[in-house]
């Protein structure tokens, strides 16, 4: 390979760069601008994806496996807290109705006292009594509260009954903690009802006295061979029944009417255990057994007070759990926010880092391009100044120093 001698007058920077074609000397200077533009675009492209990803991550919001786990825990606690609040609403509704029922018990007690003081007649007390047990049952039925659980609405009534022969009640399961533990709240029937099971046949008589639409409706007992599906067709108004005997301690009873004949059976009570007024008239029409009535009222009041205490205990327990849930939810929210702030800070730092790196790359490119421009212009100026001995010498010096090669 032929050596290019240093300071050879035939060897110039432009000739070397163009392969000896110096007619495009100026094209090199002009072309360098296009080359620099392309280079700048390449640098921009290299950083575009990084910048876009950093901006998108910041705009999308922060997330991480830890934050997702904390959010799931928080969501679970919020759901359980809502169920606790639903359960509290059911208990509060029951408590409201208990207050009203207690008012009717007091009203009946006052009526019995008035009867014993001869301020009202037996007939007036009977009317007041049957109307009161009707109102008590209405209040018991009004204990129902809509309860939302697992996406489904239910009617929960802790003081009502779903059966007139078993006097069964509903059960409410409320969340107790962040796991699957629950607080079971058993219903207590606070209406009043009873049925009479006939000896021998096992048929049952049920009265509608406590379930009439109004106090003016006639109270009637109906016989069923299988409750609630099969009526025997035997019924009679309670006002036409004569109670021959009734042992309140055992429930054994004998009564007679023109429709039923004489029936021997057993009375089974439910709820507050108050009976129709005719069952307090074993001494005959126009009488009322005030002693038995007062005893039943005492028991009814005891049942109410016990139910009130049990529901109050459950309510205070749930209120405590609701407070615990609220505290835990707040704690998780604080932790999530701290994690979000940390992640957002990291993402902001990533974006700032990418922008800074881009700026540095642009600056370095500008400095490099400036140095290249200076070099090329110096070489061309040395070639253009052939008449200037100093310039020729310096141009040859630069060209020879830069482009001299040895085979």
Report the SS3 class of residue 151: coil
Candidates 220, 194, 224, 196; CA nearest to 209 is 220
Residues whose CB falls within 8 Å of the CB of residue 165, separated by 6 or more in sequence, listed in order: 195, 204, 227, 268
Residues 228-244: pLDDT tens digits? 999 999 999 999 999 99
Residues 177-204: pLDDT tens digits? 877 789 999 999 999 999 999 999 999 9
Residues 63 and 258: their CA atoms lie apart, in Å, by 82
- Mean pLDDT across the chain: 79
Residues 33-72: pLDDT tens digits? 555 566 556 655 655 665 566 556 555 555 567 767 767 7
Report the SS3 class of residue 146: strand
Average pLDDT over residues 208-230: 94
Instruction: Identify the helix (H) or strand (E) that includes residue 324.
Output: helix 290-384
Residues 254-266: pLDDT tens digits? 999 999 999 999 9
Rounded to whole angstroms, what are the CA distances from 165 to 46, 110, 204, 406?
A: 83, 30, 9, 118
Percent of the chain with pLDDT over 90: 51
Residues 67 and 75: their CA atoms lie apart, in Å, by 12
Confidence of residue 398 (pLDDT cuts 50, 70, 90): very low
Q: Which long-range contacts (CB under 8 A, 24 or more apart) does 351-356 make?
A: 351/51, 351/54, 351/55, 351/57, 351/58, 354/47, 354/50, 354/51, 354/54, 355/51
Alpha carbons within 13 A on the beta-carbon side of 192: 28
Residues 246-305: pLDDT tens digits? 999 999 999 999 999 999 999 999 999 999 999 999 877 789 999 999 999 999 999 999
The residue among 327 and 363 whose pLDDT is bigger is 327
Residues 106-139: pLDDT tens digits? 999 999 999 999 999 999 999 999 999 999 999 9
Over 90: is that where the pLDDT of 385 sits? no
């Amino acid at each position: 390979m032929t050596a290019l001698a240093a300071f050879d007058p035939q060897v110039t920077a432009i000739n070397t760069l163009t392969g000896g074609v110096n007619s495009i000397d100026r094209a090199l200077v002009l072309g360098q601008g296009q080359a620099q533009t392309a280079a700048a675009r390449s640098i921009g492209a290299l950083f575009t994806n990084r910048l876009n990803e950093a901006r998108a991550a910041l705009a999308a919001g922060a997330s991480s496996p830890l934050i997702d786990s904390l959010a799931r825990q928080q969501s679970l606690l919020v759901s359980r807290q809502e169920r606790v609040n639903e359960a509290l609403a059911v208990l509060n509704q029951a408590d409201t109705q208990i207050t009203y029922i207690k008012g009717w018990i007091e009203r009946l007690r006052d009526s019995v006292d008035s009867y014993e003081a001869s301020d009202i007649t037996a007939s007036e007390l009977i009317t007041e009594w049957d109307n009161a047990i009707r109102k008590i049952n209405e209040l018991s039925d009004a204990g129902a509260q809509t309860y939302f659980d697992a996406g489904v609405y239910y009617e929960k009534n802790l003081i009502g009954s779903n059966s007139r022969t078993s006097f069964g009640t509903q059960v409410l399961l409320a969340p107790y903690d962040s796991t699957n533990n629950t607080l079971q709240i058993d219903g207590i029937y606070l209406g009043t009802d009873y049925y009479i099971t006939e000896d021998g046949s096992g048929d049952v008589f049920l009265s509608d006295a406590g379930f009439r639409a109004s106090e003016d409706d006639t109270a009637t007992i109906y016989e069923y061979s299988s409750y609630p599906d099969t009526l025997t067709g035997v019924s009679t108004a309670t006002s036409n029944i004569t109670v021959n005997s009734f042992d309140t301690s055992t429930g054994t009873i004998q009564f007679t009417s023109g429709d039923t004949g004489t029936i021997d059976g057993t009375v089974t009570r439910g709820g507050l255990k108050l009976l129709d007024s005719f069952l307090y008239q074993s001494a005959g029409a126009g009488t009322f057994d005030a002693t038995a009535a007062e005893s039943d009222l005492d028991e009814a009041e005891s049942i109410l007070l016990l139910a009130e205490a049990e529901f109050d205990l459950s309510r205070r327990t749930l209120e405590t759990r609701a407070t615990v849930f609220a505290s835990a939810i707040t704690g998780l929210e604080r932790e999530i926010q701290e994690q979000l702030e940390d992640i957002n800070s990291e993402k902001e730092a990533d974006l700032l880092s990418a922008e800074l790196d881009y700026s540095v790359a642009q600056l370095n490119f500008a400095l490099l391009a400036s140095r290249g421009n200076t070099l090329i212009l110096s070489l061309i100026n040395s070639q253009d100044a052939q008449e200037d001995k100093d310039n020729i010498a310096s141009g040859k010096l630069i060209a020879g120093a830069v482009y001299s090669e040895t085979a």
